[in-house]
Amino acid sequence: MEPHCGCTRLNEAEWQLQKHAWGRRSFYRTTHWLLFHMPIGIAGAIRKGMDGAKAKGYTVEAPYMMLDDETGPFSADMLIALKETPENDPNVITWEGATLYSSYYHGPFRGLKQQVEDLTRFVENEEKRKPEKIYTWVTNCPRCWKEQGGPTTVLFARI
């Protein structure tokens, strides 16, 4: 059953400790503020990013993948996955191919630090090197947390 607001429920087996080989993929980038790794005003940042992508004619399809990329102790880039691969737009980041491992986590945000450590250790054991970057994707909105028993986060370790 889909939640009332349209948040997609993911199948844990498709995301838990899985290796993904992504081809060319583009993201619309917007920034937002953090406080102790927690987003501030995330709803506004999502709205700003979605509106910016739509204003340029880009297509964002469900499930709405929005990767959070911490750029400093108090800021992060939100990368909104696009259907197209636009060129010559400073707000668009295009990966020419990426290998990532994912980890599925359903629970309070205070548990994410341990999940990041566990995923990092898993990648180090599998690939014999540390991930280049960790991204987070909170797949459901705060309105759905009560209905779904809390937030669902997919962590990505890019190698």
Q: pLDDT for 5-50, tens place per residue?
A: 767 788 999 999 999 999 999 999 999 999 877 788 877 888 999 9
| Tally of domains within the chain | 1
Spatial distance between the Cα atoms of 105 and 90, rounded to a whole number of angstroms:
32
**Is the residue at 6 inside a domain?**
no
Q: What is the mean pLDDT of the chain?
A: 91
**Is the residue at 1 inside a domain?**
no
Spatial distance between the Cα atoms of 11 and 155, rounded to a whole number of angstroms:
14
> So what's the pLDDT on residue 3?
46
**Is the residue at 23 inside a domain?**
yes
**Is the residue at 5 inside a domain?**
no
> So what's the pLDDT on residue 122?
98
pLDDT band with cut points at 50, 70 and 90 for residue 103:
very high
Q: What is the 3-state secondary structure (H, E, C) of the chain?
A: CCCCCCCCCCCHHHCCCEEEEECCEEEEEEEEEEECCEEECHHHHHHHHHHHHHHCCCCCCCCCCEEEEEEECCEEEEEEECCCCCCCCCCEEEECCEEEEEEEEECCHHHHHHHHHHHHHHHHHHHCCCCCEEEEEECCCHHHHHHHCCCEEEEEEEC
**Is the residue at 33 inside a domain?**
yes
**Is the residue at 2 inside a domain?**
no
What is the number of other CB atoms lying within 10 angstroms of the CB of residue 152?
22
Residue 42's CATH number:
3.20.80.10
Q: Containing domain of residue 146, as a range?
A: 12-158
**Is the residue at 7 inside a domain?**
no
* pTM of the complete model: 0.89
In terms of Cα–Cα distance, which of 120, 42, 103, 105 is closest to 77? 42
**Is the residue at 27 inside a domain?**
yes
pLDDT one-digit tens code per residue, 59-82:
998 888 999 999 988 999 999 999
